[in-house]
C-alpha cells in the first residue's frame, strides 16, 4: 500500500493525456491515501476497474469506453468502498458503460465504515444504451433499497456539474440510496432517466437542468429539498412523490414526507407533479410535503398537471400535502384540477407564464409574465443561475429563474 501526503500526493499519470490505453480487463486497487490517477484510457476494462478503499484520493481525466461487467448491469466500473472518504472523482468520461459507472458503497452497519464527503464533479456520461431491465446507473450513492438500514447513513456526498448525454442505461441517472447528500448543477439531455431519491433522507437536489429526459426528480424518504430545478419536456413526468410502506422490515419504498419542492420550472408535460404508489403495501402516503412557488406549464391541453396513480384518488394526496403560490398553465385550456388555496396571498395561479427562450436557450419569463414578483419570499436566496432572488420589494419570481436580476 502506498500513500502520499496532503499537498504532496503520489501521482500516476499518462505522459500525454489519453496517450496510454488499457484494453481488456484491468484492475486498479487504491488502498492508501493521497493517490492521484490521471490521463489514462480504459477500453472494455470490465467491472471494478478502479476500487478505492482509502481516503483523499483522486481520479481525474480518465476515459472509460464500453467498460463494465459483461454478464450483469450492477457491478460498477469505479467503486468507492465502505469507509473510504474525501475522495474526488472529476473530469472523467464514461462512454457506453455496460454496468453502473460509479458506486459509493454504503454498508448496512455503521461499524463496517460509512464513506463520507466524497465529491463527484464535472464528469460526463454519454451514449449508454440499456442492456437489461435494471442497473447501469451512471451514479449510485449507496446500494440499499427502501427501508434498508444503509439508506439512513449520512454520507454527505456532493454530486455537481456532471453531464448526462444520451445516458439511457437505467431510469435513474443518479440513484440516491443514502442520506444527507447534495445533487446540484448537473445537466441531463436526451437521456431515458431522471434524478431518483430512491431511499434515504434530507438530500438536497438543486439547480439541475433536465431536458428531454424520461423524468425529473423522484422522491421517497423524509425531509428532502428539491429546489430551483428546470425540467423541460420530460417524457413521463416531472416530480414524483411516492407512497410507500411504514411496516417494519418491509422492503420497497419509503413514503415521501416533509419535502420542500420549491421554485422549480416544469414544462411541456401533462404529468408535472405526480403522486404514485408502486408498492402493494401503501400504508405510508406522502404527507407533509410543501409544494411552493413552482411554475408548471403543459405543452398541450391537459385535464390536470397534478395527478395521481390508479391506486388512490388525487384528493387523498391533496389532503395531506400543501400547495402554495404555484403557477399552472395549459395552452388554450384554463380548467382542470388546481390545488387549494385559490384565493389570498398563498393562492395558486392559473395563467399563461409567457415563457421565452433566452440565456443560451433556457426558458425564462417574458415581459408581463404573471409569474414575476409574486412568489412567496424567503424560500430561496438564489435562482437556477445563481442570481439573487426578489425585486426591490422583496418578492421573487415563481419558477427556477428570476427574470431581471443580474
pLDDT band at 111 (very low <50, low <70, confident <90, very high): confident
**Nearest-CA neighbor of 11 among 50, 43, 59, 48?**
59
**Residue 148 has which C-alpha cell?**
434498508
Find cell 476497474 and name the residue. Answer: 49
Q: Is the Cβ–Cβ distance between 63 and 93 less than 8 Å? A: yes
| Segment 269-302, tens digit of pLDDT | 878 999 988 776 667 889 999 999 999 998 765 6
Instruction: Classify residue 121 as left (phi > 0), alpha (psi -120 to 50) or beta.
Output: beta
Q: Over 90: is that where the pLDDT of 92 sits?
A: yes
**Nearest-CA neighbor of 176 among 196, 150, 191, 194?**
196
**Nearest-CA neighbor of 395 among 189, 379, 385?**
379
**Nearest-CA neighbor of 180 among 234, 222, 145?**
222
**In what helix (H) or strand (E) does residue 60 lie, and over which residues does it extend?**
strand 58-60
| Segment 114-126, tens digit of pLDDT | 999 999 999 999 9
**What pLDDT is attached to residue 359?**
58
**What pLDDT is attached to residue 277?**
82
Q: Over 70: is that where the pLDDT of 10 sits?
A: yes
| Segment 49-90, tens digit of pLDDT | 999 999 999 999 999 999 999 999 999 999 999 999 999 999
**What pLDDT is attached to residue 360?**
64
In order, the DSSP letters of 34-58 are SEEEESEEEES--S-SEEE-SSS-E
Q: In whole angstroms, what separates CA 112 from the centre of its chain?
A: 27
| Segment 124-182, tens digit of pLDDT | 999 999 999 888 999 999 987 555 788 999 999 999 999 999 999 999 999 999 999 99
Tell me the pTM. Answer: 0.95
**CA separation (Å) from 142 to 84, 87, 197, 307, 345?**
13, 15, 11, 30, 41
Mean per-residue pLDDT of the chain: 91
Q: In whole angstroms, what separates CA 44 from the centre of its chain?
A: 27
| Segment 189-247, tens digit of pLDDT | 999 999 999 999 999 999 999 999 999 999 999 999 999 999 999 999 999 999 887 66
**What pLDDT is attached to residue 324?**
96
Q: Is the peptide bond before 63 cis (omega within 30 degrees of 0)?
A: no
**What pLDDT is attached to residue 404?**
72
Q: Which residues of 303-334 are buried (b: 16+ CB within 10 A; e: fewer)?
A: ebbbbbbeebebeebbeebebbbbbbbbeeee
Phi, psi of 318 (to 5 degrees): -60, -30
Amino acid at each position: 500500500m502506498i500513500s502520499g501526503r496532503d499537498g504532496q500526493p503520489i501521482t500516476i499519470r499518462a505522459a500525454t493525456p489519453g496517450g496510454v490505453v488499457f484494453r481488456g480487463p484491468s484492475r486498479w486497487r487504491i488502498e492508501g491515501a493521497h493517490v492521484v490517477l490521471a490521463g489514462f484510457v480504459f477500453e472494455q476494462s470490465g467491472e471494478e476497474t478502479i476500487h478505492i478503499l482509502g481516503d483523499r484520493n483522486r481520479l481525474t481525466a480518465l476515459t472509460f469506453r464500453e467498460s463494465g461487467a459483461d454478464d450483469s448491469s450492477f457491478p460498477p466500473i469505479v467503486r468507492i468502498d465502505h469507509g473510504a472518504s474525501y475522495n474526488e472523482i472529476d473530469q472523467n468520461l464514461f462512454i457506453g458503460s455496460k454496468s453502473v459507472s460509479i458506486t459509493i458503497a454504503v454498508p448496512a452497519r455503521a461499524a463496517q465504515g460509512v464513506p463520507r464527503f466524497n465529491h463527484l464533479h464535472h464528469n460526463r456520461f454519454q451514449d449508454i444504451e440499456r442492456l437489461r431491465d435494471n442497473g447501469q446507473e451512471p451514479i449510485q450513492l449507496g446500494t440499499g433499497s427502501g427501508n434498508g438500514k444503509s439508506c439512513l447513513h449520512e454520507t454527505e456526498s456532493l454530486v455537481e456539474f456532471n453531464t448526462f448525454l444520451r445516458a439511457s442505461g437505467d431510469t435513474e441517472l443518479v440513484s440516491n440510496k443514502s442520506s444527507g447528500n447534495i445533487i446540484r448543477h448537473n445537466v441531463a439531455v436526451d437521456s431515458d432517466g431522471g434524478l431518483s431519491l430512491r431511499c434515504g433522507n434530507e438530500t438536497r437536489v438543486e439547480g439541475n437542468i433536465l431536458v428531454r429526459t424520461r423524468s425529473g426528480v423522484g422522491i421517497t424518504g423524509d425531509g428532502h429539498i428539491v429546489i430551483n430545478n428546470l425540467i423541460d419536456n420530460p417524457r413521463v413526468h416531472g416530480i414524483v412523490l411516492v407512497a410507500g410502506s411504514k411496516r417494519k422490515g418491509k422492503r420497497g419504498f419509503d413514503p415521501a414526507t416533509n419535502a420542500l419542492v420549491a421554485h422549480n420550472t416544469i414544462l411541456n408535460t401533462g404529468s408535472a407533479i405526480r403522486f404514485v404508489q408502486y408498492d402493494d403495501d401503501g400504508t405510508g402516503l406522502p404527507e407533509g410535503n410543501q409544494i411552493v412557488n413552482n411554475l408548471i406549464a403543459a405543452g398541450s391541453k391537459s385535464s390536470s398537471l397534478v395527478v395521481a396513480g390508479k391506486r388512490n384518488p388525487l384528493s387523498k394526496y391533496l389532503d395531506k400535502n400543501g400547495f402554495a403560490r404555484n403557477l399552472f398553465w395549459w395552452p388554450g385550456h384554463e380548467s382542470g384540477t388546481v390545488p387549494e388555496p385559490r384565493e389570498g396571498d398563498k393562492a395558486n395561479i392559473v395563467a399563461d407564464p409567457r415563457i421565452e427562450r433566452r440565456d443560451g436557450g433556457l426558458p425564462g419569463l417574458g415581459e408581463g409574465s404573471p409569474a414575476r414578483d409574486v412568489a412567496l419570499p424567503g424560500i430561496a436566496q438564489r435562482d437556477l443561475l445563481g442570481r439573487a432572488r426578489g425585486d426591490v420589494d422583496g418578492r421573487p419570481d415563481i419558477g427556477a429563474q428570476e427574470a431581471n436580476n443580474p
